[in-house]
């Protein structure tokens, strides 16, 4: 299967919104109320909101495409504000890595992660970090394979009125 990675442009905002809503819903449905889920999707994954992020030159967004069709996306940004303990290092946050359900387990996430780590190394970052829901065992296992470790710090990540806790994971070069 040929997998192509390409930068997401502003005009791709509707496609990104579709994939972002679908993958977030499939990952977290059942962990919060339907109302909280819809509110979260509308707030964070609307075409308007994602369009703003695509216009931010410090935010990097990429699709993984199979046969020219986007099936996964990756978003990263140099960022420190929600994880002050990482400030000692030049650090990049992996903000989102989401693969459509039917394309998981096929090497697409690996390709995106390799791309992200190479970007960080080439650009002389000392650390990369991310938040993962405490019960998202599949993602945790995936990150573990890449040498991410639990920093011991956590973060509240509520979906609407449903409280959830994320672990902050980090990896140093
Ligand atoms: C997390 C994600 C990017 C990983 O990509 P992937 O293609 O599924 O990656 P893998 O197939 O290598 O799966 C990772 C590991 O989890 C294991 N796994 C599969 N289902 C699992 C489950 N229900 N519970 C625990 N581990 C599971 C796999 O066997 C694999 O481990 P192995 O290589 O030792 O066999 C992808 O699953 C995804 O997009 N998930 C939904 C969105 C998401 O959770 N994003 C991350 C938010 S922090």
The full DSSP string for 63-113 is EEEETTEEEEEEEEEE--TT-GGGGGS-EEEEEEEEE-GGGTTSSHHHHHH
Give how many domains the chain has, as a whole number. 1
Of 96, 141, 144, 148, best ligand 1 pocket probe by most atoms within 8 Å of the beta carbon: 141
- How far is the centre of ligand 1, averaged over its atoms, from the C-alpha of 14 (Å)? 26
Of 64, 138, 141, best ligand 1 pocket probe by most atoms within 8 Å of the beta carbon: 138
pLDDT value at position 88? Answer: 96
Which structural domain range is residue 112 located in? 3-172
pLDDT value at position 1? Answer: 87
Cα-only R_g, the chain: 16
CB neighbour list of residue 34: distance below 8 Å, 6 or more residues apart: none
CA nearest ligand 1 atom 16, residue: 138
Pocket of ligand 1 (CB under 6 A): 23, 27, 97-99, 104-105, 108-109, 132, 136-139, 141-142
Instruction: For residues 82 and 88, give the distance between their C-alpha atoms in angstroms, rounded to a whole number.
Output: 14
CA nearest ligand 1 atom 43, residue: 98
Task: Give every residue of the chain whose pLDDT is below 70, as ranges.
Answer: none
- The number of the ligand 1 atom at minimal distance from the alpha carbon of 107 is 7
Q: Which residues pair with 96 in a beta bridge?
A: 75
Instruction: For residues 164 and 32, give the distance between their C-alpha atoms in angstroms, rounded to a whole number.
Output: 9
The predicted-structure confidence for 90-120, as pLDDT tens digits, reads as follows 999 999 999 999 999 999 999 999 999 999 9
- The number of the ligand 1 atom at minimal distance from the alpha carbon of 100 is 39
CATH number of the domain that residue 91 is part of: 3.40.630.30
CB neighbour list of residue 52: distance below 8 Å, 6 or more residues apart: none
Q: Rounded to two decimals, what is the model's pTM?
A: 0.96
């Amino acid at each position: 299967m040929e997998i192509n990675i390409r930068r997401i442009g502003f005009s791709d905002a509707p496609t990104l919104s579709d994939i972002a809503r679908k993958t977030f819903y499939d990952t977290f449905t059942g962990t919060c109320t339907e109302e909280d889920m819809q509110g979260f999707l509308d707030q964070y994954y609307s075409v308007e909101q994602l369009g703003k992020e695509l216009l931010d030159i410090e935010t990097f967004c990429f699709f993984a495409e199979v046969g020219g069709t986007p099936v996964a996306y990756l978003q990263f940004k140099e960022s420190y504000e929600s994880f002050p303990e990482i400030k000692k290092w030049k650090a990049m946050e992996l903000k989102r890595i989401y693969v459509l359900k039917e394309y998981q387990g096929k090497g697409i996430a690996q390709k995106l992660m390799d791309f992200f780590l190479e970007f960080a190394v080439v650009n002389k970052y000392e650390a990369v970090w991310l938040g993962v829901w405490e019960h998202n065992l599949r993602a945790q296992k995936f990150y573990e394979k890449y040498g991410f470790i639990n920093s011991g710090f956590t973060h509240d990540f509520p979906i609407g009125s449903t409280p959830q806790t994320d672990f902050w994971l980090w990896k140093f070069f």
